[in-house]
Amino acid sequence: MSLIDALNWRYAVKKMNGQPVEQEKVDKIIAAAHLAPTSSGLQPFKIIVVTNQELKEKIAPIAFNQAQVIDSSHLLIFAANENYTEEGIDEVFDRMNAERGLPLDTTDAYKAQLKGMLLSRTAEENFNHAAHQAYIAFGIAIAEAAVLKVDATPMEGFNGPALDELLGLDKKGLKSVTLLPLGYRDEAGDWLVNLKKVRTPKEEFLIELK
Ligand SMILES: Cc1cc2nc3c(=O)[nH]c(=O)nc-3n(C[C@H](O)[C@H](O)[C@H](O)COP(=O)(O)O)c2cc1C
C-alpha cells in the first residue's frame, strides 16, 4: 500500500475493538518514530508505552474518558524534555562522534554555538521546541501505523500535568505532549468509520509562488 493510500485508509478512530496489535507492528511504529528527524539530532523526547489495563483505566479519566485509551492494546505517550541541559547536549554529540569513529572534539564548535543558543532560552521555550520535535515523530508513527493497517488515534485531549503526575514524568524531566492509542477499529461500533474524509480544498491549502 502506498503512503497516500494508507493515509486515505486511516482516520482518527473513536472506537477500537479490543483486538491486540501484534508486538512486531508496535515495534515498527516505535522504530519509525525513533528515526524521525530532530533539530540538531537532539531527540529531546521519549515514548512511553502503556499496556497495563489497570493503568490505562487510571489514564482514561485524565483523557476525558475517551474510549480509545482503554480499548487500545498499546497506549503510546509522547513526552518531551522539560528543558535542554549541557550534559544532555554533550551526551548526544559524544555518542554521535563515538559511533561514527570520530574524535569527541569534532563537533565542539557547533556544540558551543548550540549550547549558547539553547541554554540561554527559558525552560518554557525549550520545552516548546522539544515538543515540536516530538510532534514530528508522532506524525511519522501515525503514518507507519497506517502503512501497517494499525489504527492509531492522535490525541491531545488530555490533562498533561495530571498525566505527568500519575506516571511520575515530572521526576524524569519530561512532560507529556500527545497520546497515540494503537488498536483496530470497531467497524460496527464507530460512528466515524464510514464518514468521508474531509480536507480543505487543495487550492486553499496550497500556495504556489511561481
Ligand atoms: C494533535 C492532534 C490532536 C488530536 N486530539 C484528538 C483527541 O483528543 N481525540 C480524538 O478523538 N481525536 C483527536 N484528534 C483527531 C482529529 O480530530 C482528526 O485527526 C481530524 O479531525 C482529521 O480527521 P482524520 O484524522 O480522521 O482524517 C487529534 C488530532 C491531532 C493531529
Q: What is the pLDDT of residues 177-193, one digit of tens each?
A: 999 999 999 999 999 99
- The grid coordinates of residue 84 equal 535542554
Residue nearest to atom 11 of ligand 1 (CA): 14
Residue nearest to atom 17 of ligand 1 (CA): 12
**pLDDT, the chain, mean:** 98
Residue nearest to atom 5 of ligand 1 (CA): 155
Rounded-to-integer distance, Cα 62 and Cα 171, Å: 19
38 domain-assigned: yes
168 domain-assigned: yes
The 3 state secondary structure assigned to 51-81 is: CCHHHHHHHHHHHCCCHHHHHCCEEEEEEEE
Separation of 186 CA from ligand 1 center, angstroms? Answer: 17
Rounded-to-integer distance, Cα 71 and Cα 60, Å: 10
Q: What is the pLDDT of residues 53-78, one digit of tens each?
A: 999 999 999 999 999 999 999 999 99
1 pLDDT more than 90 = no
113 domain-assigned: no
Q: What is the pLDDT of residues 126-153, one digit of tens each?
A: 999 999 999 999 999 999 999 999 999 9
Rounded-to-integer distance, Cα 149 and Cα 139, Å: 15
Ligand 1 neighbours (beta carbon < 6 A): 11-12, 14, 66, 153-157, 178, 197
102 domain-assigned: no
Q: How many domains does the chain have?
A: 1
112 domain-assigned: no
110 domain-assigned: no
- The grid coordinates of residue 142 equal 501515525
201 domain-assigned: yes
Report the nearest atom of ligand 1 relative to the CA of 135. Answer: 1
Mean pLDDT score, 77-91: 98
- Domain range for 64: 3-84+119-205
Provide the CATH number for the domain around residue 128: 3.40.109.10
Q: What is the pLDDT of residues 23-49, one digit of tens each?
A: 999 999 999 999 999 999 999 999 999
The percentage of residues in the chain with a pLDDT greater than 70, rounded to a whole number, is: 100
Of 10, 69, 76, 155, which is best to mutate to test ligand 1, by the most ligand atoms within 8 angstroms of its C-beta? 155
Rounded-to-integer distance, Cα 134 and Cα 78, Å: 6
12 pLDDT more than 90 = yes
Separation of 154 CA from ligand 1 center, angstroms? Answer: 5
191 domain-assigned: yes
